[in-house]
Structure 1
Amino acid sequence: MNKQRMGKVLRLGFSATIILVIFMAIAIFSVGPSLVAKRFNPVGKVASQAPGTSLQALHQSLTIADLHADSLLWGRDLSKFATYGHVDIPRLLQGNVALQMFTVVTKVPTPLRLEGNSDRSDNITKLAILQRWPISSWFSLKQRALHQAKKLQALERKTSGQFRLIKTQQDLNQYLAQRQQNSSITAGILGLEGAQALEGRIDNVDQLYDAGFRMIGLAHFFDTEVSGSAHGENRGGLTPFGLEALKRMENLGLVIDLAHASSQAFDEVIQHTHHPVLVSHTGVQGTCENARNLSDRQLQQIAQTGGVIGIGFWETAVCGDDVGAIVRAIRYVVDQVGIDHVALGSDFDGAVRVPLDASQLHYITQALQQEGFNEPEIRKIMGDNVISLLQQLLPAS
Structure 2
Amino acid sequence: MMVSDEAKAVHAAYPAVDLHADTLMWTRWLGYDLHARHTPPLPWAALGGHVDIPRMREGGMAAQFFSLVSLPLRERGAGLARAVDEQIDALVEAIERRPRALRLVKRADEIRACEDEGQVAALLGIEGAHALEGDLDRVAHFARRGVRYMGLLHFSANEAGFPAYGRGRDDERGLTAWGRDLVARCEDASVLVDLAHINRRGFLDACAMATRPPIVSHTGVLGVFDHWRNIDDAQLRAVADKGGCVGVIFYPRYLGGNGLEPVVKHMLHILDVVGEDVPALGSDWDGFIVPTSPLKDPTGLPLLTEALLAAGVHERVIGKILRRNVLRVLEAG
TM-score between the two structures when normalised by the length of structure 1: 0.77
State the partner residue of 1:273.
210
Equivalent residue, structure 2, for 1:337: 274
What residue number does 2:125 align with?
191
The 8 Å contact of residues 67 and 344 in structure 1, kept in 2 or not, is answered as yes
Amino acid at match of 1:176: R
Offset at 1:79? 1.2
Deviations 1:350-389 (A, max 9, x none): 1001122112210110100110011101111111111111
- For the pair 1:52 / 2:52, whether they are aligned, the reply is no
Q: Unaligned 5+ residue runs, structure 1? A: 1-48, 109-121, 126-136
Q: Distance in 1 between matches of 2:24 and 2:122?
A: 12
Q: SS at 2:17's partner residue? A: strand
Counterpart of 2:10 in structure 1: which amino acid?
A: L
Residue 243 of structure 1: how far off its partner (Å): 1.5
The alignment covers a number of residue pairs equal to: 315
Q: 1:156 to 1:237 in 2, by over 3 A?
A: same
CA displacement, residues 57-113 of structure 1 (integer Å, 9 cap, x when unaligned) = 2212213111000001112111111112210111111111111110011016xxxxx
Say whether residues 1:149 and 2:88 are aligned partners.
Answer: yes
3-state SS in 2 of match to 1:220: coil
1:313 alignment partner in structure 2? 250
CA contact (8 A) 1:138 1:144 kept: no
CA distance in structure 2 between the aligned counterparts of 1:316 and 1:148, rounded to whole angstroms:
27
Q: Residues 175 and 332 of structure 1: is their aligned pair in 2 closer, same or farther, counting only changes over 3 Å?
A: closer
Aligned partner of residue 68 in structure 1, secondary structure: strand
Letter in 1 for 2:98: T
Structure 1 position 154, deviation (Å): 1.5
| Ranges of 4+ aligned residues in structure 1 off by more than 2 Å | 52-55, 232-236
CA distance in 1: counterparts of 2:240 and 2:111, whole angstroms: 27
Matched, 1:264 2:201: yes
Residues 208, 238 of structure 2: 8 Å contact kept: no
- SS for the counterpart of 1:189 is strand
> What residue in structure 2 maps to residue 116 of structure 1?
none
2:23 counterpart residue number: 71
* Structure 2, unaligned runs of 5 or more: 41-48
Give the 5 Å matches for 1:36-185.
Answer: 49-74=1-26, 75=30, 76-84=32-40, 85-107=49-71, 122=73, 124-125=74-75, 139-167=78-106, 169=107, 172-177=108-113, 179=115, 181-182=116-117, 184-185=118-119
Partner of 2:44: none
- The structure that has the greater radius of gyration is 1
Q: Which amino acid in the other structure matches residue 97 of structure 1?
A: M
CA RMSD of aligned residues (A): 1.5
More helix by share: 1
| 2:268 partner SS | helix
Kindly state the Cα deviation for residue 239 of structure 1 after the two structures are TM-superposed. 1.7
In 1: Cα distance, 2:190 partner to 2:88 partner: 18
How far apart are residue 138 of structure 1 and its match? 5.8
What's the counterpart of residue 24 of structure 1? none
Q: Summarize the Cα distance change of 1:147–1:55 in structure 2 as closer, same or farther, 3 Å threshold.
A: same
- In 2, distance between residues paired with 1:151 and 1:178? 20
Once the two structures are TM-superposed, the CA of residue 320 in structure 1 deviates from its matched residue by 1.0
CA distance in 2, matches of 1:138, 1:288: 39
Give the 3-state SS of the residue equivalent to 2:277 in structure 1.
helix
Correspondence 1:210 to 2:144: yes
**Structure-2 residue corresponding to 1:347:** 284
| Deviation, structure 1 residue 281 | 0.3
Shift of 1:237: 1.6
Q: CA deviation at 1:159?
A: 1.9
Q: Distance in 2 between matches of 1:146 and 1:174?
A: 22
Q: 1:281 to 1:222 in 2, by over 3 A?
A: same
Work out the CA distance in 1 between the residues paired with 2:22 and 2:111. 23
Displacement of 1:344: 0.6
Report the secondary structure of 2:84's partner residue. helix
Q: Residue type matched to 1:150 in 2?
A: D
